Structure 1
Amino acid sequence: MAAIYAERLRKIRKDLRLTQLQVSQHTGINNKTLSGYEAGRNKPDYETLKTLCDFYDVTMDWVLGHTNNPHSQLSEAERDMVEKVDLDDDSFINGDFKFAGRELTVEEKRELQAMARLFLNRKKGN
């Protein structure tokens, strides 16, 4: 069975009635590479996955199987939390943030900060 990202990348491309060649021409990602992702032979790196998700206008969480909604929005509580955290300075990195009862590492906080910036900037553009 193919990985969920493979199934969903293939599904969204077909739902949009695009060929791998068309996606390749718009994203700059080689169509043979796209074929490998859709077949589950290869995994896209973060930047490639972001490029594909932006092009298809779906979330990474959906492609990776973390949600069944390809266009999920932040809840009111999530928006409130984001407004209280300044993602533009090191206060987020230096803050105490826990997940599943353990303190996040600096590397995890930086990754979370980068993903939040990408997500929020994308939502601001809509």
Structure 2
Amino acid sequence: MSHQFKLWKEVSALHSKLDVYLTFEYFSLYNFCIQSSNLLFMQFSKLDQILGLEIQRRRIHKGWSQEYLAEVTGLHRTYISQLERGLKSPSVRVLSHITQALSVTMSEFLQTVEESLSVDKQRD
């Protein structure tokens, strides 16, 4: 066996060990990031769900479809759907458009959401 081949074999073996180590470290870091983001997602998703349910409750109370709410707010129907399901978080501007269309002030709307959050926390 030539000296170069032996050297190549040793370097290849070290490279494989390094790959395994780096892969393990990468996945450890990746799992930590996923767990951390899931924790944040769980905290924020409850708020998003309650905001969405309140939008939906008020829309249905008016007898409106998602399509009609989308039309009067200038938003897309699928975005309204995502908001109502708690999959998206509305910006202040979007929430302002929605509350104006639903004939409610933002403070009244958010007060209702805050009360729902408090009730939900008491259940936990």
The structure whose Rg is larger is 2
With the length of structure 1 as denominator, give the TM-score of the two structures. Answer: 0.49
Q: Which has the higher contact order (CA 8 A, sep 6+)?
A: 2
With the length of structure 2 as denominator, give the TM-score of the two structures. Answer: 0.49
